[in-house]
Amino acid sequence: MMELNGKLFTPAEAEVLWDVIRHRRDVRGNRFIDRPVEPEVVDRLLDAALHAPSVGFSQPWEFVLVTDRQTRQRVRDSFEAANAAAQPVFGEREDAYARLKLEGILEAPLNIAVFYVPQAGPVLGQTTMEEVGLYSVVCAVENMWLMARALNVGLGWVSILDPERVRVLLEAPAGHRLVAYLCTGYTDGFFEQPELELLRWEKRRDKEKVVRRID
């Protein structure tokens, strides 16, 4: 029989976690500095990702570390094409959108591509909601993001890309799905609020407007 002897946390430790959560930021390219991320720090980020929850303990992820400048430039080209195509979508906000800095592919010393790797056979918990495999990978990304913030490392999620083109560029097998492309590196500082909130692109939603109760 399995023993229940897991660690219990103190209120002070819970407060530290809350501090990390509320100070997590999406770091843009204009904030990265020219300093490599030490291998032991990269290992901590990956270890955090590998301890994320996954449906059926399936761990359906792969992480590709990209430092090669030419490869990053090709990914950046994909961003530029996708970003230009996205601008007209925003109508009256097109000019404001065009002024946003939405990536740091070349500025960050390390890029991390995160792929969803579907399993061939059935996965426990995924028989009626196949998409939860993707959600598991997102949990890994969030773990990595929180660990990065705890280590004072900047991380930015780039999603304005052609995922199939990036998959081919990074020589990932057919069937792997790009979930996140992360720009990773030290930064000259962190904003007190999310950058898009400071720029008034969006504002944080009130809890009362997004929570329903069924008593």
Average pLDDT over residues 36-62: 98
Is the pLDDT at 206 greater than 80? The verdict is: yes
Q: What is the pLDDT of residue 30?
A: 80
Q: What is the pLDDT of residue 2?
A: 76
> Which regions of 117-203 does DSSP assign to beta strands (E)?
154-158, 177-185
- Cβ atoms of residues 176 and 117 within 8 Å: yes
Average pLDDT over residues 42-54: 98
Please state whether 200 falls in left (phi above 0), alpha (psi between -120 and 50) or beta: left
Cα gap 137→122, rounded to integer Å: 17
- Cβ atoms of residues 148 and 184 within 8 Å: yes
At 84-98, the pLDDT tens digits run 999 999 999 999 999
Q: What is the pLDDT of residue 65?
A: 98
DSSP-derived secondary structure letter, 57: G
Is the pLDDT at 17 greater than 90? The verdict is: yes
Is the pLDDT at 1 greater than 80? The verdict is: no
Identify the band that residue 11 occupies on the pLDDT scale cut at 50, 70 and 90: very high
DSSP-derived secondary structure letter, 76: H
Is the pLDDT at 79 greater than 90? The verdict is: yes
DSSP-derived secondary structure letter, 170: T
- Cβ atoms of residues 169 and 71 within 8 Å: yes
Cα gap 103→25, rounded to integer Å: 13
Single out the residue of 130, 106, 128, 131 nearest to residue 185, CA to CA.
Answer: 106
Q: What is the pLDDT of residue 47?
A: 98
Q: What is the pLDDT of residue 25?
A: 96
Residue type, 92: E
Is the pLDDT at 165 greater than 90? The verdict is: yes
Beta-carbon contacts of residue 43 (< 8 Å; ≥ 6 apart)? none
Sheet holding 177-185, edge to edge: 61-66, 110-116, 177-185, 154-158
Average pLDDT over residues 172-185: 98
Q: What is the pLDDT of residue 29?
A: 83
Cα gap 136→140, rounded to integer Å: 7
Q: Return the percentage of the chain with pLDDT > 90, whole number.
A: 94
Q: What is the pLDDT of residue 106?
A: 97
Whether pTM exceeds 0.85: yes
